[in-house]
Amino acid sequence: MLAITLQALVLGLGAGLAPGPLLALVMSESLRGGARAGMRVAVAPLITDTPVVALSWALAGSLDPESPWLALLSLGGALVVGQIAVEQWRAVLPEADAMPAAGSRSLLRGAAVNLLSPHPWLFWITLGGPLLASAANESAWRAVAFLTVFYLLLVGTKLVLAVLTGRWGRSLTGVGYRRVCRVLALVLLAFALQLGWEGVSRLLD
């Protein structure tokens, strides 16, 4: 349980802090409409990720444990996490006005941005789905714990940034953000290497 929880924590934090259109929209809405507007965007993954998670879970769960496809998924997951690690290392706090105003439909705009982004699909098909299926095979509670911790961190970090942006706006500094991202990048890199080793080991067995 501890291992799957730590994986969910690191991956959720990485996804929550990852620079991209959703994070930029969170900050943009917070600046223009206050923290509540940004918070509505921050919870968009709770709506849009449901079909993605269900599909990837079903796909990974239908594979035989000895299937070479699991090895390829592990290698694909290693590449995805490695790319996230590189992006985290280079990350800078997005400009709050990087996205156009979305008016009062913050949640719908956030849902559209997240649903049309390839990142959630790529993450869940290559990495999240297999991890979730593996956790579910051991215990339903492990799968619930993985999803709960992952989304608490993913949504929670964006909610915090929405509040900070809504309250302090342009006075936010990116120094602390960069430091957190770089520490997280090293942890993610270690996780990517572990996934890569598991993929190679499956192919060699």
pLDDT at res. 119:
76
pLDDT at res. 157:
93
Q: Distance between CA atoms of 43 and 108, rounded to whole angstroms?
A: 10
pTM of the model: 0.75
Q: Name residues whose C-beta falls within 8 Å of residue 41's C-beta, 6 or more positions apart in sequence.
A: 22, 25, 26, 29, 102, 106, 107, 109, 110, 113, 158, 162
Contact 16, 155 (CB under 8 A): yes
pLDDT at res. 148:
94
Q: Provide the residue-wise pLDDT of the chain in tens; the chain has 205 residues.
A: 778 888 899 899 988 888 777 887 788 788 777 888 889 889 989 988 888 888 888 877 676 666 677 777 778 878 877 887 887 788 776 655 544 444 447 778 778 877 777 678 878 888 888 888 888 888 889 999 999 999 999 999 999 988 988 887 656 666 767 777 788 788 878 878 887 887 888 788 7
Distances (CA, A) of 48 to 18, 54, 94: 17, 11, 22
pLDDT at res. 152:
95
Q: Distance between CA atoms of 64 and 60, rounded to whole angstroms?
A: 9
Sort 191 into a burial class: Cβ within 10 Å, 0-12 / 13-18 / 19+: buried
Q: Name residues whose C-beta falls within 8 Å of residue 86's C-beta, 6 or more positions apart in sequence.
A: 185
Query: Which of these, 95, 93, 115, 148, lies nearest to 41 by C-alpha position?
Result: 115
| Secondary structure, 3-state, 183-197 | HHHHHHHHHHHHHHH
Write down the number of H helices and E strands in the chain.
10, 0
Q: Distance between CA atoms of 50 and 48, rounded to whole angstroms?
A: 6
In the block, tokens 């520490």 appear at 183
